[in-house]
Each structure stands twice: as structure tokens, then as C-alpha cells.
């Protein structure tokens, strides 16, 4: 039921019956909106405390539920800053992980927690990034102080931090999927908005992801400038890099072009993953999608094996692969697509980011 609800929210064209079914959720969105606005106001007035770390904090977040590319951007920024002589630690909530563990997922060299304890995104970042400490936990100020006592970092990246108002940030980056935008403009639970659009005024810069559709980008840019007249807007796309095997080795993209594949994912918008596979020349003949942060089971594998007879490869995301590898998947032709965020205005973007470290 949660999966069907999730997919219905992202569906662009809804039937009259679907709209009627969603109407009770529209009523529920009003008290939710009141609570969100009240919380933000209390922080703005100083009645709720915001604490500052002694080193700069860059928040990477969004206004909608589901993925807009926060984790790929966090990874790109961590690597890009290291190349520019800036060492950072990543502060994550660790959504989907086990309560009471941590805070250290990796010290930058050794991965210390499995995916079901750390959460899938922190584990993925820990597996790929080297030299970057990653910490999980609700109290990101406390974890930041803990990290400063142990690691020589120049600052922090706060993954999924736009709504984490208890911690002051020196730069607020908000990601917007240009092909989804803000959905129909409704707040949770009727729509995909975590906060009202007016909250975008807190942002310092915006990054439009999947920005191949120029008309969609122009529409969003007009809307953003109306809400935030001094908005700085950048554009990005996902660059496929290769296929990740179960043993962690990377194979080139062209190796499996025109193969018949099953697209397997546990993300909020599985259609975006399938369209990316088709863009790089794969023939998606079947799809299996689960709710975001789905914990795969042996029963899931049993049903997958029945479908493998019709296809040549099972292709998934990297964050799904880290969880699937904990199960007996060796008999499946399973690969993950490695992607990287590419920013169109990269030099200008990094120039703005580097300002917080001066």
C-alpha cells in the first residue's frame, strides 16, 4: 500500500477516481502545513535554538520527498573539495539505519557499519569515498563536535539538511528535479512537498537536476525568481560512468548496450531510473520497484529469479546493490549503474562553494 501511494503522488496525470481517493489526504495536509510553518517561525524568531559549529557547514537538501540527487551531489562535492585542498566530514541522518548505532560509519579509511545499521546512502558514500569521515545521527551538532575532536577537517557537508534547522549552515543548497518540479504543489501527505514553496527563501543557491528538458528548467527558473528574486540557479545532469559488479569492479558502459534488462530499484521515482537506462542504450523489458529504502528479502530474490529467464541482466542502483549484496545474489546477472553528478556551470558553482571556507 505504501508503494502504491508513493507512486500515485508522483503520477503526473491523475484520474478523477484517484483525485477523489486522495481528497482525505488534502484535508490532512492543512494541519501538517500549520505544524511545519510554526516550527520554521519559532526557529526564525530564535525561540527554538540554532547552534553553530566552529567550521563551515554546507547543507545539501530539497523541498520534496524522495530523491533529487542529494547523495550523488554530496559525493561529488566531497571529492571536488578534496581536490581543492578542503577536507570535509559528512553529517547524515542515517535514514533507514538501525537506531542507537554510530555515530561513525567510516573514518575515511575503513567502513565500520553495515548498510542495515548505517542506512543505505551513508554506507554507499562510505564505500565509494576515501578520506572522508561519515557520521550518522539525529544530533548533527553533537556529531560535528565529535568529528572535530578526532579528524582534521575544514568543514562539513550536511546530507539532506534543508529541514534540519537546529544546525546553522553557511551555505544552503537546494536540489530540484527539473522533470518533477514540485509535483502538483501540495504538501504532505497529499503531495510531495515537505514544506511550503515560501521556504525556498532560506536557500542560497538552487541546483536543477536532470536538466535536459530546457522548457521545464525555464518554468522552474521563472517560479524560483518569483519566490526568491536573488536566487542563484545552476543546472546538472547524471553522467553514467560504468557498471558495478558484485565484486566491486567497474566495467565500461558499452559492454551491455542493447541488452534486455530488468530495472530493479527501491527509490521514490523508479521511472527516472528506467529512463536513464534507456538513454544509455539498454532495452528495459521489465521493471521491479519497491518503496524508497526497501530492505530486500530472500522472497524478493525468489520472484526475481523467476523473471530472469526473460532477460539478460538485472540492473539496479548502487544504493540498492549494497543491500542486495547481503543476500545470496551470486546466481543473478546483477549489476549496478554508477552515476556521477555533472554541473553545467561547474567552475562558477565551485567558486561560490569555496567562498564559505575563506
Residue spans of the domains in the chain: they are 57-238+342-357, 239-341
What's the chain's average pLDDT? 92
**Is the domain 239-341 a CATH 3.40.50 member?**
yes
pLDDT band at residue 95 under the 50/70/90 scheme: confident
pTM: 0.92
Q: Which of 91-105, 112-126, 240-254, 275-289 has the least mean pLDDT?
A: 91-105
pLDDT band at residue 106 under the 50/70/90 scheme: very high
Q: Which of 263-267, 333-337, 354-358 has the least mean pLDDT?
A: 263-267
Provide mean pLDDT across the span 282-297: 89
Q: Do domains 57-238+342-357 and 239-341 have the same CATH topology?
A: yes
Tell me, rounded to whole angstroms, the distance of Cα 263 from its chain centroid. 19
Chain segment 131-177, per-residue pLDDT in tens:
999 999 999 999 999 999 999 999 999 999 999 999 999 999 999 99
Chain segment 211-238, per-residue pLDDT in tens:
999 999 999 999 999 999 998 999 999 9
pLDDT at position 68, please?
83
Burial group, residue 53, by CB count within 10 angstroms (0-12, 13-18, 19+): buried
Tell whether the model's pLDDT for residue 2 goes beyond 80: no
Q: How many CB atoms lie within 10 A of CB 90?
A: 29
Provide mean pLDDT across the span 325-345: 93
Provide mean pLDDT across the span 101-129: 92
Query: Cα separation of 69 and 88, whole Å?
Result: 19
pLDDT at position 272, please?
85
pLDDT band at residue 4 under the 50/70/90 scheme: low
Q: Express as a percent the part of the chain with pLDDT over 90.
A: 75
Q: Which residues pair with 219 in a beta bridge?
A: none
Query: Cα separation of 295 and 35, whole Å?
Result: 30
Candidate CATH numbers 3.40.50.720, 1.10.580.10, 3.40.50.2300, 3.40.50.300; the one for domain 57-238+342-357: 3.40.50.300
pLDDT at position 202, please?
96
Provide mean pLDDT across the span 60-67: 90
Burial group, residue 124, by CB count within 10 angstroms (0-12, 13-18, 19+): buried
Amino acid at each position: 500500500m505504501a508503494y502504491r501511494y508513493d507512486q500515485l503522488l508522483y503520477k503526473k496525470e491523475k484520474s478523477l477516481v484517484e483525485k477523489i481517493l486522495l481528497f482525505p489526504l488534502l484535508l490532512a495536509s492543512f494541519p501538517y502545513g500549520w505544524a511545519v510553518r510554526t516550527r520554521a517561525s519559532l526557529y526564525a524568531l530564535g525561540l527554538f535554538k540554532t547552534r553553530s559549529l566552529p567550521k563551515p557547514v554546507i547543507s545539501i537538501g530539497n523541498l520534496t520527498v524522495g530523491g533529487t540527487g542529494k547523495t550523488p551531489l554530496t559525493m561529488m562535492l566531497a571529492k571536488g573539495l578534496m581536490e581543492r585542498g578542503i577536507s570535509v566530514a559528512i553529517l547524515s541522518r542515517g535514514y533507514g539505519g538501525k537506531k542507537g548505532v554510530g555515530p561513525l560509519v567510516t573514518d575515511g579509511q575503513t567502513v565500520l557499519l553495515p548498510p542495515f545499521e548505517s542506512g543505505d546512502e551513508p554506507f554507499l558514500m562510505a564505500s565509494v569515498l576515501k578520506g572522508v569521515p561519515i557520521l550518522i545521527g539525529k544530533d548533527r551538532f553533537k556529531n560535528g563536535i565529535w568529528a572535530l575532536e578526532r579528524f582534521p577537517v575544514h568543514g562539513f557537508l550536511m546530507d539532506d539538511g534543508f529541514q534540519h534547522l537546529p544546525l546553522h549552515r553557511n551555505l544552503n543548497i537546494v536540489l530540484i528535479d527539473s522533470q518533477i518540479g514540485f509535483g502538483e504543489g501540495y504538501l504532505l501527505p497529499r503531495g510531495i512537498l515537505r514544506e511550503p514553496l515560501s521556504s525556498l527563501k532560506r536557500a542560497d543557491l538552487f541546483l536543477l537536476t536532470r536538466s535536459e528538458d530546457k522548457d521545464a528548467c525555464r518554468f522552474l527558473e521563472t517560479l524560483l525568481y518569483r519566490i526568491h528574486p536573488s536566487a542563484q540557479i545552476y543546472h546538472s545532469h547524471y553522467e553514467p560512468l560504468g557498471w558495478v559488479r558484485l565484486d566491486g569492479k567497474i566495467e565500461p558502459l558499452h559492454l551491455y548496450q542493447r541488452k534486455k534488462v530488468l530495472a530493479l530499484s527501491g527509490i521514490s521515482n523508479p521511472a527516472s531510473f528506467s529512463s536513464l537506462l534507456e538513454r544509455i542504450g539498454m532495452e528495459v523489458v521489465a521493471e521491479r520497484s519497491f518503496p524508497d529504502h526497501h530492505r530486500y528479502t530472500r522472497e524478493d530474490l525468489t520472484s526475481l529469479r523467476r523473471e530472469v529467464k526473460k532477460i539478460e541482466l538485472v540492473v539496479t542502483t548502487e544504493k540498492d546493490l549494497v543491500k542486495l549484496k547481503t543476500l545470496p545474489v551470486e546466481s543473478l546477472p546483477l549489476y549496478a549503474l554508477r552515476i556521477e553528478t555533472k554541473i553545467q556551470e561547474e567552475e562558477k558553482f565551485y567558486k561560490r562553494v569555496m567562498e564559505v571556507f575563506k
